[in-house]
Amino acid sequence: MAAKLPDGVDDWLIVPVPLHRWRLWRRGYNQAAVLARELARTTGAQLAVDALERRRATASLGGLGRRARKRELAGAIQVSSRARAQVRGRKVLLVDDVLTSGATSDICVSVLHRAGAEKVIISCFARVLDEALDLT
């Protein structure tokens, strides 16, 4: 993942896609946060592991189409109040483990922009090809 990042990312803010606290508790870790920590260590960029919050639990998005995923995620993710100043005016690297339809990333990018992020790019470990999905 680090090899594909643009030059100068060392002054960006690295933010993982959040899990809801109950899913985090059940799983024991956030895969995106593990990847984000390693990218921060590798690049020297600042890590803001709690910048985004999943404010409400959402159903598993597996098997849902693009519109259903977007509906399920509406209002579920926001920038934490303590991270707003940290995000404002910054370039943000959003880290996800698997990008499927892009619905979660779209919501995260949108709330980061609304909080004043200058630019947001996404780095993911794996990408599900559109051909493998029924995205209707």
Question: Strands (DSSP E) along the chain, which ranges?
Answer: 13-16, 46-47, 52-54, 77-79, 91-99, 119-127
Q: If we measure between CA atoms, which residue out of 68, 87, 90, 67 comes closest to residue 78?
A: 87
Q: Which domains occur in the chain, in start order?
A: 10-57+64-132 (3.40.50.2020)
pLDDT > 90 in the chain, percent: 51
- Tens digits of residue pLDDT in 121-136: 999 998 876 555 555 4
CA 117 – CA 110 distance, rounded (Å): 10
pTM score of the predicted model = 0.85
- Tokens 């993982």, residue located: 16
Q: What is the mean pLDDT of residues 8-33?
A: 86
- Tens digits of residue pLDDT in 3-18: 888 888 889 999 999 9
Q: What is the mean pLDDT of residues 37-57?
A: 93
80 Cβ neighbours under 8 A, 6+ residues apart: 50, 51, 52, 53
What is the model's pLDDT at position 23?
73
What is the model's pLDDT at position 50?
93
Beta bridge partners of 16: 95
- Tens digits of residue pLDDT in 89-106: 999 999 998 887 778 899
What is the model's pLDDT at position 130?
59
